[in-house]
């Protein structure tokens, strides 16, 4: 299961090891997630109804409460924020009418979790981290507003920008592909 989800890899005669993060893998995961969520947004808005819009408002309210807490105590609320963030994003997708699309989004969301958490744990200043939290909160509000207005273009654009900007903070913690290749060659030469 962990191999299939890209968290560990198997090497013949060596066994399993944790998959090293790479910028290319991170960018690919994030780009795919952004495109899938943008598609789901379009489909969900086309099926919009009062119940779904009400659930979006409720999920956004819960998320915004945690975002407010993060500004005061980011380290102790990051996991709750990640759970509320997931709930909000998945609630948007929930109305798309395709369980297959929802499953793909859930998979990409879960695979990108380590990048979000790395971005939050980045050693940047607290001021920079709080700016990131505030900006994320503004984008979540804009997404909620796009749902309520039925504005597909705005929602898709906001989602793409929102999802792809978040992991940029984590790039410094991920190796580039040449380092991955070099590390794999060093492991093989030691065996």
6-22 per-position pLDDT tens digit: 555 567 776 766 666 67
Over the Cα atoms of the chain, what is R_g?
A: 18
Comparison of pLDDT for 163 and 179, the residue scoring more: 163
- SS3 of residue 22 by DSSP: strand
Burial of 62 (0-12, 13-18, 19+ CB in 10 A): middle
Span 154-179, average pLDDT = 69
pLDDT for 179: 38
| Structure confidence at residue 1 as a pLDDT band (50, 70, 90) | very low
pTM above 0.85, yes or no: no
CA distances from 37 to 40, 58, 177 (A): 5, 19, 26
Percentage of the residues of the chain whose pLDDT score is greater than 90: 53
The per-residue pLDDT of the chain, averaged, comes to 81
Q: What are the tokens at 154?
A: 């705005």
pLDDT for 113: 87
Comparison of pLDDT for 184 and 29, the residue scoring more: 29
165 pLDDT more than 90: no
pLDDT for 127: 76
Contact 30/22 with Cβ under 8 angstroms?
no
70-84 per-position pLDDT tens digit: 888 877 888 999 999
Structural domains of the chain ordered from first start: 1-20+178-191 (no CATH), 23-174 (1.20.120.530)
| Structure confidence at residue 133 as a pLDDT band (50, 70, 90) | confident
């Amino acid at each position: 299961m962990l191999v299939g989800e890209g968290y560990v890899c198997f090497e013949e005669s060596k066994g399993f090891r944790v998959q090293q993060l790479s910028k290319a893998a991170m960018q690919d995961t994030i780009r795919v997630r952004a495109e899938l969520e943008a598609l789901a947004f379009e489909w969900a808005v086309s099926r919009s109804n009062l119940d779904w819009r009400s659930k979006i408002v409720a999920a956004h309210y819960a998320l915004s409460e945690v975002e407010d807490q993060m500004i005061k105590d980011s380290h102790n609320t990051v996991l709750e924020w990640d759970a509320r963030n997931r709930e909000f994003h998945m609630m948007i997708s929930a109305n798309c009418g395709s369980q297959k699309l929802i499953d793909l989004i859930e998979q990409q969301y879960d695979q990108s979790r380590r990048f979000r958490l790395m971005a939050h744990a980045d050693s940047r200043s607290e001021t920079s981290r709080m700016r990131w939290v505030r900006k994320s909160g503004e984008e979540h509000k804009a997404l909620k507003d796009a749902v309520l207005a039925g504005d597909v273009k705005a929602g898709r654009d906001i989602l793409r920008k929102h999802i792809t900007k978040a992991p940029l903070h984590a790039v410094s913690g991920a190796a580039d592909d040449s380092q991955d290749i070099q590390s794999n060659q060093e492991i093989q030469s030691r065996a």
